[in-house]
Amino acid sequence: MPGPGLPRRLIALPCAAVALIAACGNPPASPSEAKQNVKLVDATPAAGPLAQATWFMAKEPSTLDLDNDGAGANSDLILSNVCERLVQLQPDLTIKPGIAEKYEWTSPNTLTFTIRSGVTFHSGAKLTADDVVWSLQRHAADGANESDEFTSVTSIAKTADNQVTVTLKAPDAVFLQAMAGDGGAVLERKGVEQQGAAYGTPRGKDACSGPFTLQAWNSGQNIVISKFAQYWDSARAAKTEKITFRWADDDALVNSLVTGAGDGTYLENISSATRLATGGTTSVSQGPDTRVWSLMVTERGALTDVRLRKALSLAIDRDGVSRAALAGFGAPAKEPVGPGAWGYQATAFQAAYDQLGGSPAIPSEQDIEAAKKLVAEVPDRKPIIVASDTTDGRSVIANALVDAAKKIGLEASIIQIPPQQYTDYYSSKEFRAQADLFTDDYFISKNDPVGFYKNGSSKSTVQWVLKDPQYDSLVAKARAALDDAERAKLSIELASKWADAMPWISVVQSPSTVALSNKVTGVPASGCYRYYPWAADLGAKGA
């Protein structure tokens, strides 16, 4: 992994970042005009079946094994339709029974799942409680991608022919939410073990039970999934016979949809919606998500003093970032998790969010003066280095940080990290030593803010400056609160403490954004697509 010796240099400003609100070139429509054409959570059901569809994505997955640490959003986009979870996330980001037809806390620290009968894997084998136990134990193994979701689990056992009981050190409401994500995916043990090292690679097959089966992975070209004719839930059977996934950069992706070479995409770069919402051949819909772009503070040292972090937060032009990086399709963010996490007590969460200070959409003169006073209180001020890569979104945010620093008397510069190495900062302290902040987006699989704020614990692997025993204690209390109202109060307290410590500087929310050709419809616009079988809803559009 690269360390402190990686060459540092100021990056050239991308077109979108030359001025935070300046436009580049001549887009086919203004962002404001495009935004008027964007639908909010268009839930128009498909009118009929499709023989095939082509779906675009940003990158080729590195693996289709959910337990491999290379799995991520691109793997989930496909496997959400192939593999099923104990609990199923819904388009409104609430949860309901999945492979488990019933789940209940049978004691304060035991969660019991009743496994649905009549479910078969794509191999034709019956899904059993033994498969569930083995799957959860695989997810919990050291080094597995979802192992952090099982840290409080003491045992996973088959307690009846159709029953699996998970015992935890303490009650944990977040664990149930995690079972709707990759930590709850149920795999066929025999199917995985027979494939050995081929599983999850282009040479392998799936070992799942969802409405689609993996037909082919042609490395470097495409991935094909096909309708599973024997799917156990006939009411939720796929409407499309075959879906081919292709990957392309933003321009190629947009051109493919506009020209009819593609049928849809969940936009990673939502600024592309400007072109797709106005051309007449495609439509764009947005819905709730948990995704937020933030500046993540490292332990390098220049921002050790929280007053400097708060000063920078007061001076960042979040509205300008939203317009430049997200073409106005996002929104300024006061906290590091989006409102898609408000799966319960939404009114309470909204009220608390409205009261959060220190993160203005557009800094006022008073905000800038307050920031300057905070800076003046810190005698030892070192130059700040913020890391970015070649992508416009990260570059815009990094440049907004440099601009904010200059306004309040701080010195800041940018280093460029190669995109293929960028995520190393999560795992390598030596890598993080290159910069005081990194720009990145972050989302959670849970419809519960506690599922994010647990990342503020002293043992967290994604934040490095908040080490507070009182915060740790509050996380434990919030996770153990099985009553929604009680947990919401504790979650709001966690959000307040996070804001006071500001281990990340939140910048902009990024709603889930789906673009479709005028020939198809049905898929949900919300962030559920990473875990919900969205492609089963895809079908032909009515007249």
| Identical fold between 83-191 and 290-509 | no
CATH of domain 83-191: 3.90.76.10
Range 339-349 average pLDDT: 93
Residue 155 has pLDDT above 60, yes or no: yes
Residue scoring higher pLDDT (276 or 28): 276
pLDDT, residue 25, reads: 34
Let me know the angle formed at the C-alpha of 373 by 493 and 393, rounded to the nearest 5 degrees. 65
Mean pLDDT in the chain? 90
Fold of 290-509: Dipeptide-binding Protein; domain 3 (3.10.105)
Range 314-336 average pLDDT: 95
Range 245-274 average pLDDT: 93
Over the stretch 492-529, which tens digit does the pLDDT of each residue have? Answer: 999 999 999 999 999 999 999 999 999 999 999 999 99
- 305 φ, ψ (degrees, to nearest 5): -80, 120
Identify the burial level of 446 via C-beta atoms within 10 angstroms of its C-beta, where 0-12 means exposed, 13-18 middle and 19 or more buried. buried
Residue 338 has pLDDT above 60, yes or no: yes
* b/e sequence 258-276, b meaning 16+ C-beta within 10 Å: beeebbbbbbbbbbbbbbb
- pLDDT-derived band at 14 (thresholds 50, 70, 90) equals very low
Weakest-pLDDT range from 37-41, 45-49, 144-148: 37-41
Superfamily of domain 38-65+210-289+514-540: Periplasmic binding protein-like II (3.40.190.10)
- pLDDT-derived band at 471 (thresholds 50, 70, 90) equals very high
Over the stretch 369-381, which tens digit does the pLDDT of each residue have? Answer: 999 999 999 999 9
Sequence spans of domains, the chain: 38-65+210-289+514-540, 83-191, 290-509
Over the stretch 362-408, which tens digit does the pLDDT of each residue have? Answer: 999 999 999 999 999 999 999 999 999 978 889 999 999 999 999 99
Distance CA 485, CA 513 (A): 30
- The residue written with tokens 């910048």 in the block is 507
pTM of the complete model: 0.86
Q: Give Dmax over CA atoms of the chain in angstroms.
A: 69
Residue 113 has pLDDT above 50, yes or no: yes
